[in-house]
Structure formats: C-alpha cells, structure tokens
Amino acid sequence: MPANRIITLLPAATEIVCALGLEDRLVGRSHECDHPETVKLLPVCSHDRLAANLSSRQIDEQIKSMVTNAISVYEVDAEKIKQLAPDVVITQDQCAACAVSLPEVEQALADQLDKPARIISLQPDSLEDIFANITEVAQALDAMPAAELLLEEMNERIDIIRHKLKFIDKKPTVACIEWLDPLMASGNWIPELVEIAGGTPIMAQKGKHSPYIQWEDLRLEDPEVIVIMACGFSVERTMREMDVLLQLPGFTDLQAVKNSRLYITDGNQYFNRPGPRMVDSIEILAEIINPKQFIFGYEGNGWVSFG
C-alpha cells in the first residue's frame, strides 16, 4: 500500500519528499519546515521549548541545561498527529538540538494512533549518507524513479564543479563556523563540501560531529577564508551577533578578515539541511572559495561578504 499520508518532522525530510514529487501526500510538518513555501500551509506538529529572543550564548546554555536535565528541546503534538492519521512519519536521530528526535516521536506515537505508522529516522553524517537518506525515503514512499532522477541531477551539478576545479592547485584553508558563542566549527558533511568546492577544510573532520573550538586555536590556524553558517540562523540573524566575533582579541588581524574573505551564509536554509539543497550549499561554497570560476547567483541571498 502506498504511503498516502506523510508527516515530516524536520525540514530536510520535507524537502526530500517535495523533491520526489510527493508534496500532495504531506499532511503535517514540523514548526521549522518552510521550504518550499507552500508547505507552510500544512498543520504544524511540533514546537520548541526555547525562550524567545535569546542570544547565541543563551541558546547554547538553555539547550545544554535541557539535555542535562533530560528535557527535550522540542515537543511533538501527539494529538495533532493522531488527528492527521499518517502512514509514515519522518524524523531524525542525529542531533537533539536540531530537530525532533526519534525517541520523542516514538514516545509521542505510542498508543496514540488508531493504525500503525512507519517511522523513518534519518541520521546523516556525510554527503553519501544524505544521498542514501534520499534513497531510503524514496523506497519507503515507492518513489525510486523520481529519486534516481533527483540523485542523477545532484551528482551532475557536483561533477560540473569538480571538473572546473580539476586543474586548480590553489586550495585555500577554510574555517566554517557553525555557532558563534561559544565557537563551534562545522563538522559532519561540511568539510567534504568544502573540499568539493575547492578548499582545504580546517577545525573539523569529515563525518564527525561539529566540535566546540577555542578562539586561540582558530587564531593560530589563521584561515585564508572564514564562512559563517550558524545553525538555524539566516544571514540577517547572524549579522545581529557578529559583534561576538569582532570583539575577540586579534580577530581583525586574521588574514581572512584583512583580505575581505569573511562571509556570512544562510545556515538555516542551506548548510544545516541535509537534503536536496545540499548541492546548492556546495555551489555557494564554490562561489565563495573560487569566485573567478563560479557565479551561481546566490550572493545577496544565500551569502554575503562581511566587511
């Protein structure tokens, strides 16, 4: 039986379902799902427990406190999900701070639904994992032909970048920053994306979770390029907190800053969503790292130069 009623509880899953041509089967979404624009009309099945208008430091402290006290950052609306009667619920089991997690969904659905619903939990750590997740969702939703076309298109776009950079020897060091206060480097799939885009990633390892980093370590590395991709933050939201970095001792002495190679990206819409737009994220990095080779048209929306 096809999954005619789908609820997605993380933005990347919503984008995967829509990219597979199955938006008409979506009956519910998380509070963070906002792409494509039309999904905003769907019923919301979750919310977060964070207080409003917090700084980066305050958000980090509140999340750490919740995790320490075994309090979920997000709450699933079990009654709403029961009303929507899904055949499939898609969630994640990678980051408690990023989206509704598998245990929360399992607990919320226990003894709540009048019919069994399949739970798909995504846990990507690499670009290969993201491709595998698209295939997994497609298999569950009986949409493999669409997935094959989608993955072929994504790989073709990546191959174009690889081909244009084949004979480019200069690969500048690139530090990607996932959180401003405290400082975190961008891990998981991001170092791999930097390599595809023609850079040398530093401060984080491929396939490993994003680490907290010390300012002095970043200062000693003195990267040639710095890309801010704050998790869940738009360009405008990140701009409001840039003073956190500007006030660090010696920040303006970094070569990336002196050479106007400090960039702010829309971390919410791109880099932190492991779905079809991950290729958009690679194209953004290619524009930033190798501006003479690439102009994809993301500047001004997906990213801006700072300073």
Quick: pLDDT tens for 65-103: 756 654 556 788 888 988 999 999 998 775 555 555 556
- Quote the pLDDT of residue 96: 52
Please determine, for residue 260, whether its predicted confidence score (pLDDT) is greater than 70.
yes
What domains are defined for the chain? 6-123 (3.40.50.1980), 168-305 (3.40.50.1980)
Across residues 18-38, what is the average pLDDT?
Answer: 96
The residue ranking higher by pLDDT, 213 or 104, is 213
Across residues 252-258, what is the average pLDDT?
Answer: 97
Please determine, for residue 221, whether its predicted confidence score (pLDDT) is greater than 50.
yes
- Quote the pLDDT of residue 47: 84
- Quote the pLDDT of residue 113: 59
Please determine, for residue 51, whether its predicted confidence score (pLDDT) is greater than 80.
no
Across residues 173-200, what is the average pLDDT?
Answer: 97
Supply the pTM of this predicted model.
0.92
What is the percentage of the chain residues whose pLDDT exceeds 90? Answer: 74
Q: Which of 132, 218, 126, 111 lies closest to 175 in space, CA to CA?
A: 218
What is the percentage of the chain residues whose pLDDT exceeds 70? Answer: 89
19 neighbors 276 (Cβ within 8 angstroms): yes
- Quote the pLDDT of residue 163: 96
